[in-house]
Structure 1
């Protein structure tokens, strides 16, 4: 059940099939008020695709919300494609979408990988960014990626043992490599089983440290059919990005944050997020002197948790009304 306090779901008033280089076609939606404050929403993953939920944090009377399915994700085509699909391609696509829709500047909102892409976009095109709202920011370092797939912090040992049992004993030291190879090469039934194992492990971690750690949530039905096939494509893209640390680690993104525009910047992060480490949010905040960091308790990595959803709505309402995220001294 989604938390109360979100704005009602409403269909987009315009959709686009935007052709970009190398035979990719982006699915783009516009919702809310065509004359409102322009905001772009960057989904997570990589590879997850947009959801109507992401628009529900915005007051539809005050925002024009642009949702983009990134290359290979959601309803963009070809779904699951990894060829000509790198972070640099996504940054070029953001520029193309903005120019195509006639948007000089926009509020950039992203969660998890979407928050990472938002930072990279702001570094690449500072003049295009009016403000940044970053939920559960992810730093694609080798250490953070390894902590997820190998459970190096021992967050849920029994659940990780079930997850790792998908791989031969000799390959369990490199679960990401094993999954990436299998998602590209295994038969159809095999890739579905790999995707399910990954999904169960991710669900276990997403609930936060205060929840039981041995099983995924019983209230969420396991994906099947077309939903499961979409999950396979999502993880195919995600493993492709994570194998290369999202092409943001050789010149670490943290070291480039000095180029960010001095615009209102708010980070929201749960203290018990076991997918995107809270230390990452603190590190980003430390590199952005004008940023605000708001800690949320008990939300884990769940954007629909009432505490996180309320914080998102309050921040966006404040920006719509005041031009900042609740701090009058913000730039």
Structure 2
């Protein structure tokens, strides 16, 4: 059953700067940006951003107590500060999992806590299922598992709640192309002509932003996109959606036993329209050992007040468990 808890801390930790950062060449084409902040001797945690393609931001360091955690943040292939920006070749879920292993090895980390929301929850599970021996636990938010019904909901179902935003999204395409929103957006987004891909990127990104919070927010970066954020987000999302997120049908249900012994907290906004609670509910039922927290007054964004309190509560709960009941102790080699 979902739990409602009094937060150990109600908001994010103060702003911090990285103590180390760099670029890691993960193959002959892609180089990913990474950074570390917090306590260099602390418990490693890796932040997995959403999208796919959204990239990381300085605020993502602030979900973790910097005195306790060694916070790893990186930009996945093709987005943020990783290069080349918006690159789709050799950009699959398996490639991202492989990049995480290369980064973990590069940083000399034995095991790390996986923290991811939306697409980040997909990637966290994909990595954890592939490398359970390198995974200390999970904090998952706004659950998305990459199944076709979830993709169809994003493309069509959200119109039931946000008809105006969906209408703007659909009507960016000529009337004759609206029967295949994904295919025709994808065709525009991969077009080399900026006059075709930039307007499509802005329309896609505005649609997603409009549906992501319980209350409207201003997202001016999508209007100009001088940094390429909207293009990377929309192009990479369309690429993954067009290929079924590069995950087999029925994933991950048959494999969950590989990680059910690991601690997991699932945080879900009750009014999350981008990733509705039905998926989080299904995951919680299949993983009864997990802590399942439904935030009653929140949508999709990790930065809504109730969501960020629940996420910080989760990271603090894991920190306290090391002292209280040694929940993590048998699984952290540096605690042996």
The answer to whether the superposition gives a TM-score over 0.5 is yes
Secondary structure, aligned partner of 2:18: coil
For residue 135 of structure 1, what is the aligned residue in structure 2? 141
Provide closer, same or farther for how the CA distance between residues 19 and 324 of structure 1 changes in structure 2, counting only shifts above 3 A.
Answer: farther
- Equivalenced residue count is 322
Are 2:309 and 1:303 equivalent residues in the alignment? no
Work out the CA distance in 2 between the residues paired with 1:30 and 1:238.
26
For residue 315 of structure 2, what is the aligned residue in structure 1? 316
Where structure 2 has 5 or more consecutive residues not aligned to the other structure, the ranges are 1-8, 331-336
Provide closer, same or farther for how the CA distance between residues 218 and 32 of structure 1 changes in structure 2, counting only shifts above 3 A.
Answer: closer
**Contact 1:269–1:295, Cα closer than 8 Å, also in 2:** yes
Work out the CA distance in 2 between the residues paired with 1:142 and 1:264.
28
**Selected match of 1:171 from 177, 183, 186:** 177
The 5 Å alignment of 1:118-267 reads 118-151=124-157, 154-185=160-191, 187-208=193-214, 211=215, 217=216, 219-227=218-226, 229-267=228-266
Work out the CA distance in 2 between the residues paired with 1:323 and 1:169.
58
Secondary structure, aligned partner of 1:323: helix
**Selected match of 2:66 from 60, 67, 91:** 60
TM-score when normalising by structure 1: 0.91
Q: CA deviation at 1:218?
A: 5.3
Work out the CA distance in 2 between the residues paired with 1:323 and 1:136.
26
Where structure 1 has 5 or more consecutive residues not aligned to the other structure, the ranges are 212-216
Work out the CA distance in 1 between the residues paired with 2:285 and 2:70.
31
For residue 214 of structure 1, what is the aligned residue in structure 2? none
The 5 Å alignment of 1:19-34 reads 19-34=25-40
Structure 1 vs Structure 2 CA RMSD: 2.4
Q: CA deviation at 1:328?
A: 7.5
For residue 3 of structure 2, what is the aligned residue in structure 1? none
TM-score when normalising by structure 2: 0.89
Q: Which runs of 4+ in 1 moved over 3 A?
A: 217-220, 224-228, 323-329
Are 2:83 and 1:77 equivalent residues in the alignment? yes
Are 2:276 and 1:270 equivalent residues in the alignment? no
**Contact 1:16–1:28, Cα closer than 8 Å, also in 2:** yes
**Contact 2:147–2:249, Cα closer than 8 Å, also in 1:** no
Work out the CA distance in 1 between the residues paired with 2:324 and 2:266.
10
Q: CA deviation at 1:222?
A: 4.5
1:229-272 Cα offsets, whole Å, 9 max, x none, are 22112211111111112111435223322222511101000111
Q: Looking at both structures, which has the greater relative contact order when contacts are Cα pairs under 8 Å and sequence separation is at least 6?
A: 2
For residue 112 of structure 1, what is the aligned residue in structure 2? 118
Provide closer, same or farther for how the CA distance between residues 84 and 325 of structure 1 changes in structure 2, counting only shifts above 3 A.
Answer: farther
